[in-house]
């Protein structure tokens, strides 16, 4: 069966990286003035040569975002159902080799979390787990969706990659969107960071958005973990993946996230550090390439940065997040997946957005 892997295999990481770093100021100016930008333009906007053009990029990014999305900002929140995991991942607090207290929420605990999240004003929720298919697999997800569905207009999931038939089975139970991050498109480094567990299968993870598209999931979220490899090259491959999916599954909506490596238990120092100016550059480059894609910013980033960046192309922002199972209603003892940086509650984020002229939206409209 043909899919993105066939396209991906035609590219060489080192050649792509070299071509990005070879871009010049002339290439950047051409990309800024292009009527319809392509992946070569995107390389220029990603390149070190584009950093002096951050002002015009940000202005254009803001303008394009307001044309398409207006002055609205979607708020989202993760509900961590379990920190059990069968994978070893070098950068994750849930990794199998971390000696931590494991917890999977029972039905009553899930409903407690739902009540706490509803009290904040949310009408949609992102369900998150570690990757432990024996304990937190299809049957558990079916039960969780049946419990949660009456309380929210839409439900998203960020869990282990599954088969097409499994996704198809969850859609009638209320599954609206699935986030699946490749972490890095660098095959060898991927192997280095995922030595054990089902997640070590690079190709199965790479093909997950194809399975989601064929199953008919309404929205697919993509991204890489910034810091594992050269962020410019990884972002090019993310854009390549996005454009393939938009052509192939054109009825599906898409979102992108920009998670920078954060401290966690047994944490990994970043191989490549991306500074704040470079993250702004990446957000603007994606918006200039694609006016339709939703761009999300999580509480991994600090409040000053988030307050300033929401105007430059972002369409969704998390607020009041907890990254441990039971973290909203009761249990603060189970380990977080990573440390959050912006610790303001959802109401404070909504006030900040209104001050900047945005209307907070608590529901994922579709």
Distance of CA 150 to the CA centre of its chain: 25
What confidence tens digit (pLDDT) does each residue in 10-63 have?
999 999 999 999 999 999 999 999 999 999 999 999 999 999 999 999 999 999
Q: Give the residue-averaged pLDDT of 321-346.
A: 72
What three-state secondary structure class fits 248? helix
pLDDT interval class at 2 (50, 70, 90)? confident
Closest by CA position to 153, among listed 74, 257, 251, 68: 74
pLDDT at 323: 80
| Sign for the pseudo-dihedral over CA of 235, 241, 247, 253 | negative
N- to C-terminal Cα distance for the chain?
Answer: 30
CA-CA-CA-CA dihedral for 45, 51, 53, 54, to nearest 10: 90
Q: Give the residue-averaged pLDDT of 171-179.
A: 97
**What is the C-alpha separation between 310 and 351, in angstroms, rounded?**
13
pLDDT at 127: 96
Q: What is the DSSP code string of 283-298?
A: HHHHHHH-SSSEEEE-
Computed over every residue of the chain, the mean pLDDT equals 90
What three-state secondary structure class fits 64? helix
Above 70 in pLDDT, residue 1?
A: no
**Tokens 């002229």 appear where?**
357
What confidence tens digit (pLDDT) does each residue in 70-101 have?
999 999 999 999 887 766 666 666 655 556 67
pLDDT at 31: 98
Instruction: Identify the burial level of 38 via C-beta atoms within 10 angstroms of its C-beta, where 0-12 means exposed, 13-18 middle and 19 or more buried.
Output: exposed
Above 50 in pLDDT, residue 334?
A: no
CA-CA-CA-CA dihedral for 198, 204, 209, 210, to nearest 10: -150
What three-state secondary structure class fits 48? helix
β-pairing verdict for 154-158 and 124-129 = parallel
pLDDT at 366: 45
Above 60 in pLDDT, residue 336?
A: no
pLDDT at 89: 64
What confidence tens digit (pLDDT) does each residue in 266-303 have?
456 778 889 999 999 999 999 999 999 999 998 788 89
| Cα radius of gyration rounded to whole Å, the chain | 20
| Sign for the pseudo-dihedral over CA of 203, 78, 322, 285 | positive
pLDDT interval class at 337 (50, 70, 90)? very low
What is this structure's pTM? 0.93
pLDDT interval class at 198 (50, 70, 90)? confident
Q: What is the DSSP code string of 302-357?
A: -HHHHHHHGGGT--EEE-S---STTTTTT---SPPSS--S----HHHHHHHHHHTT
| Sign for the pseudo-dihedral over CA of 37, 260, 254, 66 | negative
């Amino acid at each position: 069966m043909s899919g993105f892997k066939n396209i991906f295999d035609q590219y060489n990481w080192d050649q792509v990286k070299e071509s990005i770093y070879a871009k010049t100021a002339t290439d950047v100016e051409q990309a800024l003035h292009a009527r319809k930008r392509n992946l070569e333009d995107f390389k220029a906007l990603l390149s070190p040569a584009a950093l002096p053009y951050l002002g015009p990029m940000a202005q254009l990014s803001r303008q394009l975002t307001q044309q398409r999305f207006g002055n609205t900002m979607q708020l989202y929140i993760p509900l961590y159902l379990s920190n059990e995991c069968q994978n070893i991942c070098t950068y994750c607090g849930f990794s199998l080799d971390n000696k931590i207290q494991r917890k999977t929420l029972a039905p009553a605990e899930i409903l407690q979390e739902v009540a706490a999240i509803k009290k904040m004003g949310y009408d949609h929720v992102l369900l998150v787990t570690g990757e432990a298919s024996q304990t937190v697999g299809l049957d558990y997800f079916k039960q969780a969706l049946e419990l949660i569905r009456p309380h929210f207009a839409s439900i998203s999931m960020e869990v282990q990659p599954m088969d097409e038939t499994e996704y198809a089975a969850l859609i009638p139970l209320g599954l609206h969107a699935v986030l699946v991050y490749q972490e890095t498109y660098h095959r060898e480094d991927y192997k280095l960071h995922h030595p054990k567990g089902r997640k070590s299968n690079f190709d199965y993870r790479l093909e997950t958005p194809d399975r989601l598209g064929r199953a008919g999931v309404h929205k697919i979220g993509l991204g890489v973990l910034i810091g594992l490899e050269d962020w410019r090259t990884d972002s090019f491959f993310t854009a390549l993946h996005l454009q393939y999916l938009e052509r192939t599954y054109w009825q599906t909506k898409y979102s992108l996230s920009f998670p920078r490596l954060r401290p966690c238990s047994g944490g990994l120092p970043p191989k490549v550090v991306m500074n704040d100016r470079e993250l702004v550059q990446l957000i603007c480059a994606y918006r200039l390439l694609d006016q339709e894609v939703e761009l999300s910013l999580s509480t991994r980033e600090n409040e000053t940065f988030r307050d300033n960046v929401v105007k430059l192309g972002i369409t969704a922002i998390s607020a009041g997040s907890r990254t441990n199972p039971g973290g909203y209603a009761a249990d603060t003892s189970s380990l977080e997946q990573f440390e959050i940086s912006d610790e303001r509650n959802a109401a404070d984020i909504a006030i900040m957005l209104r001050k900047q002229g945005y209307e907070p939206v608590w529901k994922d409209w579709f």
